[in-house]
Structures are given as C-alpha cells and as structure tokens.
Structure 1
C-alpha cells in the first residue's frame, strides 16, 4: 500500500447527506463550506481517522472489520440487471457485501457497502453509471475465482434502452428478449 502525507488540521467539521460530503474548512480569516460527491463510507472513514488521530491508543470502534470475502460464505442471491456493464448484482445485508457479476464474466465482491448504497443502486437509472460514481474505488473489493451466487439469467439490453427501471432493476424475460 502506498501512503500519502495529508494535513487535515484545517478541517473543522464534516457531515454527510444525500451522497454529499460536507466539509467546514478554517481558512484563517474565514470558514469555508464545501460539498463533494462521496458515499457514506467516506464520512465514516473520516470520523474513524479523526478518532484515531486525536486519541492516542484508540482502537477502531463502531464499525466492523471488513467482511472476509471467501468462497465458504453463503451464496448471495443475484438479481439480473439490464446494463451494458453488469449481468447481475446481489447484496448480503448481514455482511454488508455487494456482489457484481460483470458482462465479461468476472465476479467481484465489495465489502462494507451500506444498505443505503445498495438501495440507491437498485433505484438508479443506470447501474453502470451509479457503480462508477459511487462504488468503484470507494470500497475494498476482491475478485472471486468461482462466483458465489444463486444462478442468474443474462440480459442483453443496453442501459440506454430503458426509460425507467422498476422493482430493483431486474429484467423480466419479456423485457430482455
């Protein structure tokens, strides 16, 4: 892991709402408020960093260790999606693990994905756009050698073909043929 030196000493407060991270920054002669697109995990991570930095000997609390992603876990039920990026998505609420089966056949699991993020993914107009904006690069992931999923039917429909996705973006057989 490559580490980069950062200075957060001027960050006075942080908050999160509607996939926006709010930052209050002390600029010396004024206090500036900024908002950035960020998943809830970014906010939780900043709170943990603050706790660790200001309390010598502090341990991570309030957040479980990242889910151990292994083939011995219970398979995740997958929902077929109409997407040019993915065949199916699934979520394990208990372990907070998102699983994505991409159209190229690879399967990845993403750990510590909040239920709220899963629900937003299901409601999104485009699984691929939401994935690239809110999940990719924000969550620890592992590629599975063998998909740990309940069987999925594939769907050969492009994101742009849909005006509105209903019932968690799954494809009925008549929609995907």
Structure 2
C-alpha cells in the first residue's frame, strides 16, 4: 500500500489538501488524522467585503483565500509578514490585489 503524508485543512465541513493529489476521481483513500501540529489549524482574521475568509499556515507558508463567489485559492511561499499585513490591513481586498495576487505561485482548490 502506498502511503503519502499531506497537510490539509478542515474548514466548513470540507477537508482541503494543501497540495495537489494524484488520485483518480472516485478513488477511495484512508485518512489518519493527527492533531496538535502548528500547521494543522489555520490562523484566520475576520472576513472582509472582498474576501470571505483568509487563512495562513505558518510552517507551510501557505495562504488560503476564499472569495465571495465561493472560489478558494492557495498561495504558496507567502511570508508570515505578508499574512500579518493582510490580516491588519484597513482594506484586505486592496492589500490582496496589490501584494498577493500575481505575486506568488497559486492553485485553485475550489
């Protein structure tokens, strides 16, 4: 049996892997949950008028942005300082557009 360890985030009833998985549609998998790792829970500031939610995994340097249309994107290699500035920005949407969008590797997850 092939074993792969991934980091995922449980949010709103959905478990979201933070990296792409090479699985066929409908392929069954067995999950083992490990709690307590600093990377297992995202830090989340309040939502904004542009963004439904913003989350950050410090050890993975992964920033998750959910937009009001329901789409979710992961941005990779984002320093904690960028997350902190985004979380404290007067306008998170403006900060995101100026400092995150088109600046980091990204993947749409939903």
Q: Normalising TM by the smaller chain, what interval?
A: 0.5 to 0.7
**Residues 89, 74 of structure 1: alpha-carbon distance in 2 compared, 3 angstrom cutoff:** same
Distance 1:126 1:99 in 2: 17
Once the 2 structures are TM-superposed, how far is the Cα of residue 84 of structure 1 from its aligned partner? 2.1
Q: Larger C-alpha radius of gyration, 1 or 2?
A: 1
85, 99, 102: which is aligned to 1:134?
99
97, 107, 112: which is aligned to 2:72?
107
Once the 2 structures are TM-superposed, how far is the Cα of residue 90 of structure 1 from its aligned partner? 0.5
Distance 1:109 1:116 in 2: 17
Structure 1 moving runs of 4+ over 4 Å:
none
**Residues 80, 118 of structure 1: alpha-carbon distance in 2 compared, 3 angstrom cutoff:** closer
Asked if 1 retains the 8 angstrom alpha-carbon contact of 2:56 and 2:64, the reply is: yes
Distance 2:45 2:58 in 1: 18
Equivalenced residue count is 74
Match of 1:58 in 2: none
Question: For the aligned residues, what is the CA RMSD?
Answer: 1.6
Which 5+ residue runs of structure 1 have no aligned equivalent? Answer: 1-71, 146-177
Higher helix share: 1
58, 61, 79: which is aligned to 1:96?
61
Distance 2:75 2:91 in 1: 19
Distance 2:96 2:107 in 1: 15
Which 5+ residue runs of structure 2 have no aligned equivalent? Answer: 1-5, 10-40
